[in-house]
Protein backbone atom coordinates (compact mmCIF):
# COMPACT_ATOMS: atom_id res chain seq x y z
CA UNK A 1 0.00 0.00 0.00
CA UNK A 2 1.19 3.50 -0.86
CA UNK A 3 1.37 6.28 1.71
CA UNK A 4 -0.43 8.95 -0.35
CA UNK A 5 -2.51 9.07 -3.52
CA UNK A 6 -3.12 12.41 -5.27
CA UNK A 7 -6.01 11.95 -7.69
CA UNK A 8 -8.31 13.83 -10.09
CA UNK A 9 -5.86 16.66 -10.75
CA UNK A 10 -4.05 17.85 -13.87
CA UNK A 11 -0.34 17.02 -13.60
CA UNK A 12 1.92 19.76 -14.96
CA UNK A 13 5.46 19.54 -16.33
CA UNK A 14 7.46 22.14 -18.18
CA UNK A 15 6.15 20.82 -21.48
CA UNK A 16 2.75 19.19 -20.94
CA UNK A 17 -0.38 19.04 -18.81
CA UNK A 18 -2.31 15.80 -18.42
CA UNK A 19 -4.76 14.03 -16.10
CA UNK A 20 -3.09 11.51 -13.83
CA UNK A 21 -2.60 10.07 -10.38
CA UNK A 22 0.50 10.39 -8.22
CA UNK A 23 1.51 7.80 -5.61
CA UNK A 24 3.92 8.56 -2.78
CA UNK A 25 5.83 6.13 -0.56
CA UNK A 26 8.70 6.69 1.88
CA UNK A 27 8.82 10.43 1.06
CA UNK A 28 9.41 9.73 -2.65
CA UNK A 29 7.30 9.83 -5.79
CA UNK A 30 6.57 6.13 -6.27
CA UNK A 31 4.45 6.16 -9.43
CA UNK A 32 2.61 8.44 -11.84
CA UNK A 33 -0.29 6.62 -13.48
CA UNK A 34 -3.39 7.18 -15.57
CA UNK A 35 -6.55 8.24 -13.73
CA UNK A 36 -8.14 4.82 -14.08
CA UNK A 37 -5.18 3.00 -12.49
CA UNK A 38 -6.40 3.16 -8.88
CA UNK A 39 -4.20 1.67 -6.17
CA UNK A 40 -4.60 1.51 -2.43
CA UNK A 41 -3.11 4.31 -0.31
CA UNK A 42 -3.23 5.37 3.33
CA UNK A 43 -4.14 8.98 2.51
CA UNK A 44 -6.09 10.20 -0.50
CA UNK A 45 -5.85 13.82 -1.68
CA UNK A 46 -8.60 14.89 -4.07
CA UNK A 47 -7.18 17.47 -6.52
CA UNK A 48 -10.34 17.90 -8.57
CA UNK A 49 -10.23 21.18 -10.47
CA UNK A 50 -6.61 21.80 -9.48
CA UNK A 51 -3.20 21.59 -11.12
CA UNK A 52 -0.51 19.42 -9.53
CA UNK A 53 2.99 20.89 -9.87
CA UNK A 54 6.45 19.75 -8.86
CA UNK A 55 7.31 21.46 -5.58
CA UNK A 56 8.16 25.13 -6.21
CA UNK A 57 11.68 26.39 -5.41
CA UNK A 58 12.67 29.89 -4.26
CA UNK A 59 16.38 30.28 -4.93
CA UNK A 60 16.91 33.65 -3.21
CA UNK A 61 15.81 34.14 0.41
CA UNK A 62 17.22 36.16 3.33
CA UNK A 63 15.81 34.70 6.56
CA UNK A 64 18.12 36.72 8.91
CA UNK A 65 18.92 33.63 11.01
CA UNK A 66 21.31 33.83 12.82
CA UNK A 67 21.44 37.59 12.96
CA UNK A 68 18.69 40.23 13.18
CA UNK A 69 15.98 37.69 13.92
CA UNK A 70 13.67 40.44 15.18
CA UNK A 71 12.95 40.91 11.45
CA UNK A 72 12.57 37.24 10.57
CA UNK A 73 13.81 33.82 11.60
CA UNK A 74 14.01 30.54 9.75
CA UNK A 75 10.85 29.10 11.25
CA UNK A 76 8.78 32.10 10.21
CA UNK A 77 10.37 32.40 6.77
CA UNK A 78 9.80 28.72 5.99
CA UNK A 79 6.27 29.02 7.37
CA UNK A 80 5.66 31.90 4.95
CA UNK A 81 7.25 29.90 2.14
CA UNK A 82 4.99 26.90 2.81
CA UNK A 83 1.96 29.19 2.91
CA UNK A 84 2.97 30.42 -0.55
CA UNK A 85 3.42 26.98 -2.08
CA UNK A 86 7.22 26.88 -1.85
CA UNK A 87 8.71 23.48 -0.95
CA UNK A 88 12.44 24.35 -1.09
CA UNK A 89 14.29 27.62 -0.52
CA UNK A 90 17.93 28.60 -0.84
CA UNK A 91 19.20 30.67 2.08
CA UNK A 92 21.51 33.58 1.29
CA UNK A 93 24.76 33.98 3.26
CA UNK A 94 24.36 37.42 4.79
CA UNK A 95 23.72 35.99 8.24
CA UNK A 96 25.83 36.49 11.38
CA UNK A 97 28.12 34.75 10.73
CA UNK A 98 27.70 33.96 7.03
CA UNK A 99 28.42 30.54 5.55
CA UNK A 100 32.07 31.26 4.77
CA UNK A 101 33.82 27.94 5.40
CA UNK A 102 33.15 24.33 6.39
CA UNK A 103 32.58 25.00 10.13
CA UNK A 104 30.06 27.79 9.49
CA UNK A 105 28.28 25.57 6.97
CA UNK A 106 27.93 22.83 9.58
CA UNK A 107 26.80 25.32 12.22
CA UNK A 108 24.16 26.76 9.92
CA UNK A 109 22.81 23.33 9.02
CA UNK A 110 22.47 22.56 12.72
CA UNK A 111 20.86 25.94 13.40
CA UNK A 112 18.27 25.74 10.62
CA UNK A 113 17.32 22.08 10.56
CA UNK A 114 15.24 22.22 13.72
CA UNK A 115 13.31 25.25 12.43
CA UNK A 116 12.68 24.26 8.79
CA UNK A 117 9.10 23.61 7.73
CA UNK A 118 10.34 23.12 4.17
CA UNK A 119 13.58 21.95 2.56
CA UNK A 120 16.55 24.26 2.17
CA UNK A 121 19.89 24.74 0.47
CA UNK A 122 22.70 27.03 1.63
CA UNK A 123 24.58 29.59 -0.39
CA UNK A 124 28.26 30.13 0.42
CA UNK A 125 29.69 33.63 0.48
CA UNK A 126 32.81 34.84 -1.33
CA UNK A 127 34.91 37.18 0.79
CA UNK A 128 37.98 37.55 -1.39
CA UNK A 129 41.28 36.73 0.35
CA UNK A 130 39.42 36.25 3.65
CA UNK A 131 38.03 32.90 2.52
CA UNK A 132 39.11 32.17 -1.05
CA UNK A 133 40.97 29.09 0.12
CA UNK A 134 37.78 27.83 1.78
CA UNK A 135 35.83 27.60 -1.49
CA UNK A 136 36.79 23.93 -2.14
CA UNK A 137 35.72 22.93 1.39
CA UNK A 138 32.37 24.69 1.04
CA UNK A 139 31.86 22.94 -2.28
CA UNK A 140 32.55 19.58 -0.70
CA UNK A 141 30.16 20.34 2.15
CA UNK A 142 27.38 21.01 -0.35
CA UNK A 143 26.71 24.73 -0.78
CA UNK A 144 24.17 25.37 -3.49
CA UNK A 145 26.40 28.00 -5.11
CA UNK A 146 28.75 30.89 -4.34
CA UNK A 147 27.57 34.46 -3.94
CA UNK A 148 29.63 37.62 -4.18
CA UNK A 149 28.06 40.89 -3.04
CA UNK A 150 29.89 43.01 -5.59
CA UNK A 151 30.66 46.49 -4.33
CA UNK A 152 29.99 45.83 -0.64
CA UNK A 153 32.42 46.46 2.18
CA UNK A 154 32.99 43.84 4.87
CA UNK A 155 33.26 44.33 8.62
CA UNK A 156 36.56 42.83 9.79
CA UNK A 157 35.10 41.14 12.88
CA UNK A 158 31.48 40.25 12.08
CA UNK A 159 31.85 39.77 8.29
CA UNK A 160 28.69 41.80 7.88
CA UNK A 161 28.16 43.43 4.50
CA UNK A 162 28.10 47.22 4.26
CA UNK A 163 27.19 49.20 1.17
CA UNK A 164 27.81 52.74 2.34
CA UNK A 165 31.40 52.41 3.51
CA UNK A 166 33.67 55.02 5.02
CA UNK A 167 37.09 54.96 3.34
CA UNK A 168 38.72 56.01 6.61
CA UNK A 169 37.09 53.33 8.77
CA UNK A 170 39.82 50.81 9.53
CA UNK A 171 37.30 48.23 10.77
CA UNK A 172 35.88 47.95 7.27
CA UNK A 173 37.48 46.01 4.43
CA UNK A 174 36.85 48.09 1.35
CA UNK A 175 35.11 46.61 -1.72
CA UNK A 176 37.46 44.38 -3.71
CA UNK A 177 38.89 45.35 -7.07
CA UNK A 178 38.41 43.43 -10.32
CA UNK A 179 41.64 41.54 -9.86
CA UNK A 180 40.39 39.95 -6.67
CA UNK A 181 37.03 39.20 -8.27
CA UNK A 182 38.90 37.36 -11.01
CA UNK A 183 40.76 35.29 -8.41
CA UNK A 184 37.47 34.33 -6.72
CA UNK A 185 36.03 33.37 -10.08
CA UNK A 186 39.01 31.15 -10.91
CA UNK A 187 38.71 29.31 -7.61
CA UNK A 188 34.96 28.87 -8.03
CA UNK A 189 35.42 27.64 -11.60
CA UNK A 190 37.29 24.61 -10.24
CA UNK A 191 34.10 23.50 -8.45
CA UNK A 192 31.85 23.74 -11.50
CA UNK A 193 29.30 25.68 -9.45
CA UNK A 194 27.78 29.09 -10.08
CA UNK A 195 29.49 32.33 -9.17
CA UNK A 196 26.46 34.56 -8.53
CA UNK A 197 26.64 38.31 -8.03
CA UNK A 198 24.63 41.16 -6.65
CA UNK A 199 25.56 43.51 -9.47
CA UNK A 200 25.90 47.20 -8.65
CA UNK A 201 28.89 49.44 -9.31
CA UNK A 202 29.92 50.90 -5.96
CA UNK A 203 32.14 53.68 -7.30
CA UNK A 204 29.50 55.06 -9.66
CA UNK A 205 26.75 54.91 -7.03
CA UNK A 206 28.98 56.67 -4.50
CA UNK A 207 29.74 59.46 -6.96
CA UNK A 208 26.10 59.91 -8.00
CA UNK A 209 24.93 59.79 -4.40
CA UNK A 210 27.34 62.60 -3.54
CA UNK A 211 25.90 64.66 -6.39
CA UNK A 212 22.31 64.02 -5.33
CA UNK A 213 20.40 66.94 -3.83
CA UNK A 214 20.15 65.97 -0.12
CA UNK A 215 16.80 67.73 0.10
CA UNK A 216 15.28 65.72 -2.76
CA UNK A 217 13.87 62.54 -1.22
CA UNK A 218 11.78 61.55 -4.22
CA UNK A 219 12.01 58.05 -5.66
CA UNK A 220 13.16 59.37 -9.01
CA UNK A 221 16.03 61.22 -7.31
CA UNK A 222 17.02 57.99 -5.58
CA UNK A 223 16.86 56.19 -8.91
CA UNK A 224 19.11 58.78 -10.52
CA UNK A 225 21.69 58.02 -7.83
CA UNK A 226 21.45 54.24 -8.49
CA UNK A 227 20.67 54.07 -12.22
CA UNK A 228 20.48 51.10 -14.56
CA UNK A 229 24.03 51.67 -15.76
CA UNK A 230 25.34 50.92 -12.24
CA UNK A 231 24.04 47.37 -12.64
CA UNK A 232 25.01 46.92 -16.28
CA UNK A 233 28.59 48.09 -15.70
CA UNK A 234 29.03 45.29 -13.18
CA UNK A 235 27.23 42.73 -15.34
CA UNK A 236 29.47 43.56 -18.30
CA UNK A 237 32.63 43.39 -16.18
CA UNK A 238 31.48 40.11 -14.69
CA UNK A 239 30.76 38.58 -18.08
CA UNK A 240 34.20 39.59 -19.33
CA UNK A 241 36.05 38.24 -16.28
CA UNK A 242 33.94 35.08 -16.24
CA UNK A 243 34.80 34.33 -19.85
CA UNK A 244 38.50 34.58 -19.03
CA UNK A 245 38.23 32.55 -15.82
CA UNK A 246 35.88 29.90 -17.18
CA UNK A 247 33.37 30.21 -14.35
CA UNK A 248 29.60 29.80 -14.64
CA UNK A 249 28.49 33.41 -14.10
CA UNK A 250 25.02 34.04 -12.69
CA UNK A 251 23.38 37.46 -12.43
CA UNK A 252 21.09 37.77 -9.41
CA UNK A 253 17.84 39.79 -9.44
CA UNK A 254 18.38 41.50 -12.80
CA UNK A 255 16.59 44.84 -12.97
CA UNK A 256 17.84 46.68 -16.07
CA UNK A 257 17.11 46.41 -19.79
CA UNK A 258 20.74 46.73 -20.78
CA UNK A 259 21.78 43.97 -18.37
CA UNK A 260 19.32 41.55 -19.98
CA UNK A 261 20.72 42.47 -23.37
CA UNK A 262 24.30 41.88 -22.19
CA UNK A 263 23.41 38.43 -20.86
CA UNK A 264 21.58 37.56 -24.07
CA UNK A 265 24.65 38.44 -26.15
CA UNK A 266 26.93 36.40 -23.90
CA UNK A 267 24.62 33.40 -24.13
CA UNK A 268 24.47 33.73 -27.93
CA UNK A 269 28.27 33.65 -27.95
CA UNK A 270 28.20 30.34 -26.12
CA UNK A 271 29.27 31.61 -22.70
CA UNK A 272 27.89 29.90 -19.59
CA UNK A 273 25.94 32.87 -18.21
CA UNK A 274 22.55 32.64 -16.52
CA UNK A 275 20.23 35.18 -14.93
CA UNK A 276 17.26 35.40 -12.58
CA UNK A 277 14.72 38.10 -11.84
CA UNK A 278 12.06 38.82 -9.20
CA UNK A 279 8.38 39.82 -9.08
CA UNK A 280 9.13 43.41 -8.10
CA UNK A 281 10.86 43.96 -11.44
CA UNK A 282 8.02 42.24 -13.30
CA UNK A 283 5.09 43.93 -11.59
CA UNK A 284 6.36 47.35 -10.46
CA UNK A 285 8.00 50.39 -12.04
CA UNK A 286 9.13 53.75 -10.72
CA UNK A 287 5.67 55.07 -11.57
CA UNK A 288 4.18 52.89 -8.82
CA UNK A 289 6.03 54.63 -6.00
CA UNK A 290 3.33 57.27 -5.53
CA UNK A 291 0.76 54.58 -4.69
CA UNK A 292 2.99 51.88 -3.15
CA UNK A 293 5.52 53.98 -1.24
CA UNK A 294 8.54 52.80 0.73
CA UNK A 295 7.58 49.14 0.69
CA UNK A 296 8.97 48.92 -2.86
CA UNK A 297 12.47 50.15 -2.03
CA UNK A 298 14.79 47.27 -2.80
CA UNK A 299 18.31 46.99 -4.25
CA UNK A 300 18.80 47.03 -7.15
CA UNK A 301 16.02 49.57 -7.39
CA UNK A 302 12.83 48.97 -9.34
CA UNK A 303 13.35 50.92 -12.53
CA UNK A 304 11.36 52.10 -15.55
CA UNK A 305 8.74 50.58 -17.84
CA UNK A 306 11.35 49.92 -20.53
CA UNK A 307 13.31 47.81 -18.07
CA UNK A 308 10.20 45.89 -17.04
CA UNK A 309 9.33 45.21 -20.68
CA UNK A 310 12.85 43.97 -21.41
CA UNK A 311 12.74 41.61 -18.41
CA UNK A 312 9.44 40.12 -19.55
CA UNK A 313 10.94 39.71 -23.03
CA UNK A 314 13.92 37.95 -21.44
CA UNK A 315 11.59 35.46 -19.78
CA UNK A 316 9.70 34.80 -22.98
CA UNK A 317 12.80 34.19 -25.10
CA UNK A 318 14.57 32.08 -22.45
CA UNK A 319 17.33 34.52 -21.54
CA UNK A 320 15.98 34.62 -17.97
CA UNK A 321 15.33 31.10 -16.69
CA UNK A 322 14.51 31.57 -12.99
CA UNK A 323 12.14 33.81 -11.04
CA UNK A 324 12.70 34.08 -7.28
CA UNK A 325 11.59 36.34 -4.44
CA UNK A 326 14.71 38.00 -2.94
CA UNK A 327 12.74 37.84 0.31
CA UNK A 328 14.41 40.48 2.52
CA UNK A 329 12.24 41.42 5.51
CA UNK A 330 12.56 44.51 7.72
CA UNK A 331 10.44 45.90 10.53
CA UNK A 332 7.92 48.65 9.94
CA UNK A 333 9.89 50.92 12.29
CA UNK A 334 12.99 50.51 10.12
CA UNK A 335 11.15 50.86 6.84
CA UNK A 336 8.95 53.85 7.58
CA UNK A 337 11.16 56.05 9.80
CA UNK A 338 13.82 58.31 8.36
CA UNK A 339 14.69 59.44 4.85
CA UNK A 340 13.93 57.31 1.80
CA UNK A 341 17.61 57.35 0.89
CA UNK A 342 18.58 55.97 4.32
CA UNK A 343 15.97 53.33 5.13
CA UNK A 344 16.87 49.68 4.45
CA UNK A 345 16.12 48.10 1.08
CA UNK A 346 14.04 44.94 0.91
CA UNK A 347 10.59 43.49 1.46
CA UNK A 348 8.82 40.19 2.05
CA UNK A 349 8.38 38.04 -1.02
CA UNK A 350 8.59 34.30 -0.37
CA UNK A 351 4.86 34.00 0.33
CA UNK A 352 3.67 36.10 -2.62
CA UNK A 353 6.08 34.83 -5.30
CA UNK A 354 3.90 31.97 -6.56
CA UNK A 355 0.52 33.78 -6.42
CA UNK A 356 1.88 36.74 -8.38
CA UNK A 357 3.25 34.45 -11.07
CA UNK A 358 0.13 32.25 -11.17
CA UNK A 359 -2.00 35.34 -11.73
CA UNK A 360 -0.16 35.83 -15.01
CA UNK A 361 -1.41 32.44 -16.22
CA UNK A 362 -4.89 33.92 -15.99
CA UNK A 363 -3.87 37.12 -17.78
CA UNK A 364 -2.38 35.03 -20.59
CA UNK A 365 1.16 36.34 -20.15
CA UNK A 366 2.46 32.96 -18.92
CA UNK A 367 1.39 29.34 -19.23
CA UNK A 368 1.17 26.96 -16.30
CA UNK A 369 3.99 25.03 -17.97
CA UNK A 370 6.20 28.12 -17.87
CA UNK A 371 5.49 28.40 -14.15
CA UNK A 372 6.92 24.91 -13.69
CA UNK A 373 9.94 25.82 -15.80
CA UNK A 374 10.69 29.06 -13.94
CA UNK A 375 9.95 27.89 -10.40
CA UNK A 376 10.73 24.16 -10.44
CA UNK A 377 12.57 22.57 -13.35
CA UNK A 378 15.03 25.33 -14.25
CA UNK A 379 16.13 26.10 -10.67
CA UNK A 380 16.63 22.40 -9.93
CA UNK A 381 18.68 21.92 -13.09
CA UNK A 382 20.69 25.13 -12.64
CA UNK A 383 21.76 24.27 -9.09
CA UNK A 384 22.38 20.57 -9.60
CA UNK A 385 19.46 19.16 -7.60
CA UNK A 386 17.27 17.86 -10.44
CA UNK A 387 17.96 14.30 -9.29
CA UNK A 388 15.88 15.16 -6.19
CA UNK A 389 13.75 18.21 -6.90
CA UNK A 390 11.92 20.04 -9.64
CA UNK A 391 9.99 17.17 -11.26
CA UNK A 392 7.41 14.55 -10.39
CA UNK A 393 9.43 11.69 -11.79
CA UNK A 394 9.35 8.43 -9.80
CA UNK A 395 12.29 8.31 -7.39
CA UNK A 396 12.42 12.06 -6.78
CA UNK A 397 11.44 13.66 -3.48
CA UNK A 398 7.70 13.85 -2.90
CA UNK A 399 7.52 17.65 -2.85
CA UNK A 400 4.32 18.81 -4.52
CA UNK A 401 2.53 22.14 -4.93
CA UNK A 402 -1.16 21.98 -5.79
CA UNK A 403 -2.67 25.17 -7.22
CA UNK A 404 -6.16 26.44 -7.95
CA UNK A 405 -6.00 28.70 -10.99
CA UNK A 406 -9.60 29.84 -10.44
CA UNK A 407 -9.24 30.92 -6.82
CA UNK A 408 -9.38 34.69 -6.33
CA UNK A 409 -8.08 36.37 -3.20
CA UNK A 410 -6.36 39.57 -2.17
CA UNK A 411 -2.84 39.92 -0.78
CA UNK A 412 -3.03 41.50 2.66
CA UNK A 413 0.01 42.50 4.70
CA UNK A 414 -1.60 41.46 7.94
CA UNK A 415 -2.15 37.94 6.63
CA UNK A 416 1.50 37.28 5.77
CA UNK A 417 3.10 34.47 7.78
CA UNK A 418 6.46 36.28 8.09
CA UNK A 419 7.38 38.31 11.15
CA UNK A 420 7.71 41.29 8.85
CA UNK A 421 4.64 42.63 7.07
CA UNK A 422 6.42 44.72 4.43
CA UNK A 423 4.95 44.06 0.98
CA UNK A 424 4.51 46.21 -2.11
CA UNK A 425 1.50 44.09 -3.10
CA UNK A 426 -0.87 44.86 -0.23
CA UNK A 427 -4.39 45.08 -1.65
CA UNK A 428 -3.54 43.42 -4.98
CA UNK A 429 -6.20 40.99 -6.15
CA UNK A 430 -4.82 37.68 -7.39
CA UNK A 431 -6.47 34.90 -9.33
CA UNK A 432 -4.47 31.68 -9.02
CA UNK A 433 -3.26 30.46 -5.62
CA UNK A 434 -1.34 27.53 -4.14
CA UNK A 435 -3.85 25.51 -2.10
CA UNK A 436 -1.66 22.68 -0.81
CA UNK A 437 2.06 22.39 -0.04
CA UNK A 438 3.39 18.85 0.35
CA UNK A 439 6.88 18.21 1.75
CA UNK A 440 8.15 14.64 1.46
CA UNK A 441 4.57 13.40 1.17
CA UNK A 442 3.37 15.38 4.22
CA UNK A 443 0.85 18.20 3.83
CA UNK A 444 2.20 21.33 5.51
CA UNK A 445 -0.23 23.89 4.06
CA UNK A 446 -3.84 23.41 3.01
CA UNK A 447 -6.12 26.20 1.75
CA UNK A 448 -3.68 28.88 2.84
CA UNK A 449 -3.31 27.67 6.42
CA UNK A 450 -0.34 25.90 8.00
CA UNK A 451 -1.77 22.56 9.10
CA UNK A 452 1.45 20.95 10.33
CA UNK A 453 4.11 23.21 11.86
CA UNK A 454 6.46 20.39 12.82
CA UNK A 455 9.88 21.24 11.32
CA UNK A 456 10.51 18.44 8.84
CA UNK A 457 12.53 20.20 6.14
CA UNK A 458 15.94 18.78 5.25
CA UNK A 459 19.15 20.07 3.70
CA UNK A 460 19.42 19.88 -0.08
CA UNK A 461 22.87 19.62 -1.67
CA UNK A 462 23.80 19.51 -5.34
CA UNK A 463 24.96 16.44 -7.18
CA UNK A 464 28.75 16.60 -7.38
CA UNK A 465 29.79 18.27 -10.61
CA UNK A 466 33.40 19.24 -9.90
CA UNK A 467 35.57 19.62 -12.95
Mean pLDDT over residues 110-118, rounded? 98
pLDDT band at 463 (very low <50, low <70, confident <90, very high): confident
Which 3 state secondary structure label does DSSP give 109?
helix
Q: Are 139 and 187 within 8 A, CB to CB?
A: no
pLDDT of residue 465: 46
Left (φ > 0), alpha (ψ -120 to 50) or beta: where does 395 sit? left
Residues 275-292: tens digit of each pLDDT: 999 999 999 999 999 999
Summarize pLDDT for 294-327 with one digit per residue, the tens: 999 999 999 999 999 999 999 999 999 999 999 9
Domains 2-51+396-450 and 55-382 share a fold: no
Q: Which residue has the higher pLDDT, 173 or 228?
A: 228
Three-state secondary structure call for residue 92: coil
Name residue 459's beta-bridge partners: 120
* 23 vs 151, residue with greater confidence: 23
The 10s digit of each residue's pLDDT in 370-419 is: 999 999 999 999 999 999 999 999 999 999 999 999 999 999 999 999 99
DSSP helix/strand/coil, 234: helix
Domain 2-51+396-450 CATH (choose: 2.40.40.20, 3.40.120.10, 3.40.630.10, 2.30.40.10): 2.30.40.10
Q: What is the pLDDT of residue 163?
A: 66
Domain boundaries, the chain: 2-51+396-450, 55-382
Tell me how far apart the alpha carbons of residues 342 and 315 are, in angstroms, rounded to a whole number.
Answer: 32
Topology of domain 55-382, CATH: TIM Barrel (3.20.20)
Q: Tell me what pLDDT residue 59 has.
A: 98
Write out the DSSP string of 415-454.
Answer: G-SSS----TTTT-EEEEEEEEEEETTEEEEETTEES--S
Residue 404 has a pLDDT of: 98
| pLDDT tens figures, 201-227 | 989 998 999 999 999 999 999 999 999
Q: What average pLDDT does the segment 118-135 reach?
A: 96
Q: What local confidence, expressed as pLDDT, does residue 159 receive?
A: 76
| Percent of the chain whose predicted confidence (pLDDT) is above 90 | 93
Q: What are phi and psi of 243, to 5 degrees?
A: -60, -40
Q: Which range, of 149-158, 415-424, 455-464, averages the lowest pLDDT? A: 149-158
Res. 340: pLDDT tops 90: yes
Residue 253 phi, psi dihedral angles, 5° rounding: 35, 65
pLDDT at position 158 is: 76
pLDDT top residue among 45 and 158: 45
Q: What is the pLDDT of residue 155?
A: 77
**Dist CA 363 CA 171 (whole Å):** 51
- Mean pLDDT over 245-263 rounds to 98
User: What does the DSSP assignment read for 157-190?
Assistant: TT--EESS--TT-TTEEPPP-HHHHHHHHHHHHT
* pLDDT the model gives residue 152: 79
* Across 93-108, average pLDDT: 96
Question: Of the candidates 286, 283, 312, 309, which has an alpha carbon nearest to the alpha carbon of residue 297?
Answer: 286
> What is the rounded average pLDDT for all residues in the chain?
96
Residue 119 · residue 87 · CB < 8 Å: yes
pLDDT of residue 166 exceeding 80: no
Region 167-171 average pLDDT: 71
Residue 367, helix vs strand vs coil: coil
pLDDT at 153: 79
The pLDDT of residue 467 is 36
Amino acid sequence: MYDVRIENGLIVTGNETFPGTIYISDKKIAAVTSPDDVREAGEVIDATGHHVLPGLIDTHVHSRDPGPTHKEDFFTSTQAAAAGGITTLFEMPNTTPPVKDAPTFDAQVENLTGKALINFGLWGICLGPLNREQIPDMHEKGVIGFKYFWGYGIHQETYQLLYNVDDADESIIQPFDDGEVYQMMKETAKTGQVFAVHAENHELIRQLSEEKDPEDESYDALLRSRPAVAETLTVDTGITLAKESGVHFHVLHVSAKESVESVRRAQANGQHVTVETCPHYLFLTNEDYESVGRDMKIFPLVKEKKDQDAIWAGIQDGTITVVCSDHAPHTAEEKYAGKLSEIPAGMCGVETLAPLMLNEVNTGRLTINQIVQLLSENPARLYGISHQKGTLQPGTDADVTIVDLKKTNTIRKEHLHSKSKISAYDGREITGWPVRTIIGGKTVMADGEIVDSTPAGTLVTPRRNAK
